Amino acid sequence: MVDSPKTILICSCEDTMRLDTAAIKRGCRNSEIAEFQQLCGAELDRFRKAATVAGPLIVGCTQQAPLFADEMEGRTAKTEFVNIRETAGWSMEGSQAGPKMAALLAAASESMPAYPLVSLSSEGVILIYGRDDVAIEAGRLLADHLDVTVMITRPGQIVPPATTSFPIVTGTIRNAWGHLGAFELVIDDYAAPRPSSRDALLFESPRNGLTSRCDIILDLSGGTPLFPAHDLRDGYLRADPGDPPAMLRAVLKARDLVGSFDKPRYVNFAPELCVHSRSKLTGCHRCLDLCPTGAITPDGDHVTINSEVCAGCGQCATACPTGAATYALPPADALLHKLRAMLLAYCEAGGGHAVVLFHDGQHGSALIDVLARHGNGLPASVLPLAVNEVTQVGLEAIIAALAYGAAGIRFLLRGKPRHDVTGLFKTIAMADPIISGLGFEGRRVDTIETDDPDVLAGTLWSIEPAPTVAQPATFRTVGKRRELLRLALHELHRLAPSPVDIIALPEGAPLGAISVNVEGCTLCLACVSACPTGALRDDPERPVLKFVEDACVQCGLCQGTCPEKVITLKPQIDFRAARAPAQIIKQEEPALCIRCHKPFGVKSTIEKIAAKLEGRHWMYPAGDSRLDVVRMCADCRVITMSEQQFDPLAGVSQRAAPRTTDDYLRERESKD
């Protein structure tokens, strides 16, 4: 059922944890399981021999991974290291953690695709922005390593240096853009120092609106950060000038920011799928609302993502309704494959009531490690899954986890997040009505916001076991988030305790229908032209408006385009939509040209126009045959008007010629 590696090496770490090899074998089928007591020491020779296997190898230890890597230098087959000690074995329920170990080992067998990189280059030009001598001292520490300029904002009494080793200027940064290697600043009150300064630095007359460029910014001003989510801006370092250790850490970090650096291209973007705007009308703006760093900006009918500024929170990809923005570390389908392997192996090994704990590697792993070493560890039913950013997890992963047999999902967040996590809470707000609407009782999806391991332990150990699906789903698919979500929803609906067909969703959900006031609709079909996904359709043979709910992403372009304002969005999920034919919203008889009998419009609209014109417009007196041209197609209308020699300006008095300068001059001469 679950594809597992050929060879798995597990170690009891000098019998400090119990290994349930039988459970691991049940969960990791088609694998050779070898059990050890001190794999990194007395049994290292056995490891060297095991490492010669040709197939994939998984080692259940991360602490000694560098040692093992040295011992198998030259090995080309896939090798993974998995922490089953702090995450499973070192726990108050360690004796029951066999299924959990099987789940963690099976998840590691899922290969993650390579991700693209973005290169940043810095030549070491640094601007130190401060308010007093602390900034100058930072400049002295960096002068031998970087090209330093110190800018003091609103300077007080500053003693002039005996020797000018680097420029010291005054100024205030009005605006800042860019990233490591490419910062651009707009500076007000800029002034250079006077060489004749004696007991205190004196400056020249200030100037405003100057532009400056640098590779690195060290902000010691103690004021408002220059960038949103400033901790995530590569090349921008900030420290409290009143905290010497923090200042020194920032200086040491700045010193190393010279050369070329690679960072992941976290998000891949396909502009042709973006539904941000059409005809200068704004539709979807979910990613713009959620991006914490300002890396996303409008660019015509779509948006553009600055990969150098993007910090990889993944909220844009999670919220994108069409799959224009997709996460790459890993892609959504690869994350689902890992979830599938973990949960199915856990079930095969005899585990029950699994709770998936999504956490990041830096914050979450540290808390889990502290719990294992100094507390009761994690419950045997809690399956930790490390991701790059917790906010990258979308609705499709939540729904799929429940379909694969999870009893609940928890997201471990920092007590003080480094960036806005609104996108994650919106995802949970969409998941809640779906899960409860299908009959799953209790709080199945929630967050744990803490930096305290004791709080984390108290929350996890207090989770009540909840029922899961009777038979876990086994689907495995690839593709964009929308396709993954569609399949996961179908599977969860099939396995749900109390399935229903329609569930209302909160505003902003990327799934739903539209409501049209058919009495006010004139079938102008402007909404069809604006719809970027083909959810709204027409018929070339007759006036009709059709709607395909499965294609609707609730971008709102139809609502904004409709001249009669009769369209409203209706966020919901209809589990029948994927198989439903196009729904006819409104249809009417076509207007047939009274001369050539070709359909050219909507009959009711043409008759309305004729009724409003007859006897009420000077061109169409009551009973006049000229009104017939309104009931003709465009071609016949021109022919008829030409045959009748119809002149719309006949009988209208000629307008007086415009007066020119010559007319005024002649009039003046005649008076003289």
Strand partners, 213: 184
pLDDT of residue 190: 95
Which amino acid, one-letter code, is at 60?
A: G
Of 185, 193, 88, nearest in space to 129 by CA:
185
CATH code where residue 559 lies: 3.30.70.3270
Give the end-to-end CA distance of the chain in Å, rounded to a whole number: 110
CA 554, 556, 562: angle at the middle one, nearest 5?
135
- Assess contact for 81 and 61: CB atoms under 8 A: yes
**DSSP secondary structure string for all residues of 178-243:** --TT-EEEEEEEEEPBPTT--SS--B---B-SEEEEESEEEEES-SS-SSTTGGGSTTEEE--TT-
User: Residue 339 domain-assigned?
Assistant: yes
- Assess contact for 442 and 462: CB atoms under 8 A: no
One domain, residues 315 and 343 = no
One domain, residues 126 and 47 = no
- Assess contact for 458 and 330: CB atoms under 8 A: no
Model confidence over 570-629: pLDDT tens digits?
Answer: 999 999 999 999 999 999 988 899 999 888 888 888 888 888 887 777 667 776 777 888
One domain, residues 177 and 204 = yes
Structure tokens at 233: 């801006």
User: Residue 95 domain-assigned?
Assistant: yes
CATH code where residue 287 lies: 3.30.70.20
CA distance 326 to 332: 8
One domain, residues 483 and 536 = no
Q: E strand or H helix at 591, and its extent?
A: strand 590-592
Model confidence over 430-462: pLDDT tens digits?
Answer: 999 999 999 999 999 999 999 999 999 999 999
The Cβ of residue 272 has, within 10 Å, a number of other Cβ atoms equal to: 9
pLDDT of residue 4: 43
Pairing label, strands 216-220, 236-238: parallel
User: What's the DSSP call for residue 54?
Assistant: S
pTM above 0.95, yes or no: no
pLDDT of residue 2: 45
One domain, residues 306 and 253 = no
Category of 258 on φ-ψ map: left (φ > 0), alpha (ψ -120 to 50) or beta = beta
The Cβ of residue 518 has, within 10 Å, a number of other Cβ atoms equal to: 13
One domain, residues 75 and 218 = no
Of 18, 105, 106, 97, nearest in space to 350 by CA:
97
- Assess contact for 448 and 413: CB atoms under 8 A: yes
One domain, residues 157 and 248 = yes
CA distance 312 to 302: 20
10-residue block means of pLDDT along the chain (672 residues)? 69 97 94 94 93 90 95 88 98 97 96 94 97 94 96 87 89 97 97 88 93 97 95 97 96 97 97 95 96 96 97 97 96 97 97 97 96 97 98 98 98 95 97 98 97 97 96 94 96 97 96 95 94 94 93 96 96 95 93 89 85 76 78 89 72 77 85 74
One domain, residues 18 and 94 = yes
One domain, residues 305 and 283 = yes
Long-range Cβ contact pairs of 74-79 (< 8 A, separation 24 or more): 75/51, 77/53, 78/5, 78/111, 79/51
One domain, residues 99 and 157 = no
| Domain-ending residue, one of 246, 262, 278 | 262
One domain, residues 272 and 256 = no
Domain that residue 255 falls in? 119-262
Of 458, 465, 346, nearest in space to 107 by CA:
346
pLDDT of residue 76: 85
| Torsion, CA 154, CA 156, CA 162, CA 166, rounded to 10 | -20
Of 383, 389, 384, 338, nearest in space to 362 by CA:
389
User: Residue 109 domain-assigned?
Assistant: yes
- Assess contact for 338 and 400: CB atoms under 8 A: no
Contacts of 568 (CB under 8 A, 6+ apart): 514, 515, 559
- Assess contact for 506 and 481: CB atoms under 8 A: no
User: Residue 502 domain-assigned?
Assistant: no
- Report the number of secondary-structure helices (H) and strands (E) in the chain: 19, 31
- Assess contact for 223 and 173: CB atoms under 8 A: no
Which strands form 382-387's sheet, in the order they lie side by side?
382-387, 355-360, 408-413, 445-449
Which amino acid, one-letter code, is at 130?
A: G
* Total domains, the chain: 4
CA 49, 53, 54: angle at the middle one, nearest 5?
155
One domain, residues 166 and 191 = yes
Q: Measured in whole angstroms, how far is the alpha carbon of residue 664 from the centre of its chain?
A: 69
